[in-house]
């Protein structure tokens, strides 16, 4: 290879890493958006449970709960997929020594993705329990 080809190869490699960093930032934005959507769904469900949970019929609450569970779990799956993409991109950058490990936040690990998913699942279950307590107030003591 001549000097020009080596320089072009080095420039293409640097461009690849810059583009990978930009894609990773895009996934971070998507994860933040998906987290906002999940929290909005959970707190919206809690508001509905609080204000009208006791007055809707069993069929209505069954439909509402089914839609809520389907929507939140599918949103959580999308969240997890984007988070895994961030982890993959960060690991690829670290493997190629394109970034320093000290520059990467601790949160970009597969374990942290599982922890966050567990936290959201806990919130979903807790919100369903809240609806149960609103609909069955006499059984609680």
Measure CA 2 to chain center: 47
Predicted confidence band at 106 (pLDDT cuts at 50, 70, 90)?
low
**Weakest-pLDDT range from 1-5, 99-103, 116-120, 121-125:** 99-103
**Which residues lie closer than 8 Å to 17 by C-beta, 6 or more apart?**
93, 96, 98
Question: Among candidates 76, 74, 73, 96, which has minimal Cα distance to 84?
Answer: 76
CA distances for 6 relative to 11, 40, 93, 99, angstroms:
9, 51, 21, 22
What would the mean pLDDT of 91-98 be, rounded to a whole number?
Answer: 79
Task: For residue 82, count other CB atoms closer than 10 A to its CB.
Answer: 21
What would the mean pLDDT of 11-18 be, rounded to a whole number?
Answer: 83
Domain tally for the chain?
1
CA atoms within 13 A on the CB side of 43: 6
| Alpha-helix runs per DSSP H in the chain | 3-52, 58-95, 110-135
What would the mean pLDDT of 110-127 be, rounded to a whole number?
Answer: 92
Q: Rounded to whole angstroms, how far apart are CA atoms 29 and 116? A: 16
128 near 53, Cβ under 8 Å?
A: no
Predicted confidence band at 39 (pLDDT cuts at 50, 70, 90)?
very high
Question: Among candidates 102, 97, 90, which has minimal Cα distance to 24?
Answer: 90
120-134: pLDDT as tens digits: 999 999 999 999 999
- Tell me, what's the pLDDT at 16? 83
- List the domain range (segments joined by +) for residue 64: 3-139
pLDDT at 93 over 90: no
Q: Rounded to whole angstroms, how far apart are CA atoms 36 and 102? A: 28
DSSP structure string for 52-74: HTTTS-HHHHHHHHHHHHHHHHH
């Amino acid at each position: 290879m001549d000097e020009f080809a080596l320089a072009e190869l080095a420039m293409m490699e640097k461009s690849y890493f810059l583009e990978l960093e930009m894609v990773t930032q895009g996934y971070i934005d998507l994860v933040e958006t998906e987290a906002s959507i999940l929290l909005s769904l959970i707190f919206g469900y809690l508001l509905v449970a609080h204000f009208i949970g006791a007055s809707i019929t069993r069929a209505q609450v069954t439909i509402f709960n089914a839609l809520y569970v389907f929507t939140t779990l599918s949103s959580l799956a999308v969240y997890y997929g984007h988070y895994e993409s961030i982890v993959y991109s960060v690991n690829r950058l670290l493997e190629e020594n394109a970034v320093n490990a000290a520059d990467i936040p601790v949160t970009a690990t597969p374990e942290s993705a599982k922890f966050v998913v567990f936290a959201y699942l806990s919130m979903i279950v807790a919100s369903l329990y809240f609806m149960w307590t609103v609909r069955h107030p006499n059984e609680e003591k």
